[in-house]
Amino acid sequence: MDLQLTIHTTHFGFDYDIELHSWHKKLCAYRVFAAKPKELLEGGLGLGLNFITQFSSGAEWLAQIPKQYLAVTKAFPEHQYQLLWLAANSEQAAQLLLIRPLILVLICEHYPIDNAKALALSHLGQRDILNKLGYDNAKATLKFIDKLSLKFERDIELKYLKKLLDKTMCRYKVFKHHHTINYATISLDNRYPFLTCTKLGHAIANDKNIKRGPLRACLADTIALGLALGINEPAKRIGQLSTLDELERLHQQWIDIRNATRLSESRPVDADTPYPQLISSEPNFVAIDNYDALLREGMDQKHCIAVYHNRIVAGHYCAFKMEHPQRVTIGVKVNKRIGMLELDQIKGIRNAIATNETQELVYAWFERVKKTYMQRFNHEPELRA
């Protein structure tokens, strides 16, 4: 039985509706126009099939498709229809979908609007497919694909994989000693390749409780500190570490060295220039109003807020200290051109994450001062200088 389903895309501004035929009719689809004959849909839909259940016969239409195919393709909504179309029209493509679905996804990435070419390519051997698509086609490539433990919850995952598989670089080969490869592993390699295959890299990739934002900030800050201190190849030094605790200790060590160096060196020429008071102090939100206070804040809190001196003097940044309920340093970016404030950081001692209670108080304070600043910006021309 051919259970047809119509998607009323005309409701979204298109000049046609989509007519989907059943699994038993090879999932053929057509563009149906009001004033001319319908046309065969040559490629994918560009969206997942979950929305189909909202139609009266949608659940029945989906039920015709083998569950194992729906389960595999669900992770790739943009290509779901095309993947299923290939499986419905080719036993070889159907087998590939179950064995190594990523290869079929890569085909759809290359031919998203050409089912015929996608189908022809799916009939080749797996390594030949990879070669045709511009990826390395060694046996090691297939082994790498089989090690992947990805949920494809982010579009960036597929982008990273395509970059790793590219035949001109063959970057995937650095993972040959990995037993499994998760998102954290490939993401870390993309941003900090010097950590790949290191003990620290493995520790980061396998720590499910790690907070990615603070980790990225710590790594970027440690590298910046190393460069500022003249450390030879700071990235290589970080790659020699084994644990996150060692990274935090190195980060703190370089902060202490940098702060001590600043104290012993000559002061900046504008060190005595008072900081612009763009946001007024409050009893629990005290504006840091000069270079010495900023330097002292960095020493007390064991972090690198002092690097913002030039931006603060120029009126592009504000720093505050808060005592209760937690001792934190607050950083606020200032866009003088449009009068916009952006909460940049809330950092405890040694860049510790602020508690939920502290964050809520800071957010409430920030929303209040942001409105006040915008009102002043609209009436005080000197704030735009």
Answer for the pair 236, 226: CB distance below 8 angstroms, yes or no: no
Q: What is the DSSP letter of 353?
A: B
3-state secondary structure of 176: coil
Helix segments in 305-355, DSSP class H: 309-313
Per-residue pLDDT of 96-139, as tens digits, reads 999 999 999 999 999 999 999 999 999 999 999 999 999 999 99
CA distance 87 to 69: 8
Neighbours of 251 (CB within 10 A): 24
- pLDDT of amino acid 207: 87
- pLDDT of amino acid 1: 63
Q: What is the DSSP letter of 282?
A: B
Per-residue pLDDT of 190-238, as tens digits, reads 999 999 999 999 999 888 888 877 888 889 889 999 998 999 999 999 9
What is the phi/psi pair of residue 32, to 5°?
-110, 115
Measured on CA atoms in the order 260, 266, 272, 277, is the torsion positive or negative? negative
- pLDDT of amino acid 52: 83
Nearest to residue 113, comparing CAs of 82, 75, 76? 82
Which amino acid, residue 197? C
* Residue 303 tokens, joined: 């972090």
CA distance 309 to 319: 10
Burial 64-76 (b: 16+ CB within 10 A, else e): ebeeebeebbebb
Q: What is the DSSP letter of 146?
A: H
Distances (CA, A) of 81 to 18, 40, 92: 12, 14, 17
Which parts of the chain sit beneath pLDDT 70? 1-2, 263-264, 266, 379-385
In the sheet where 317-322 sits, what is the strand order? 286-287, 317-322, 328-335, 340-347
What is the phi/psi pair of residue 101, to 5°?
-60, -30
**How much is the pTM?**
0.69
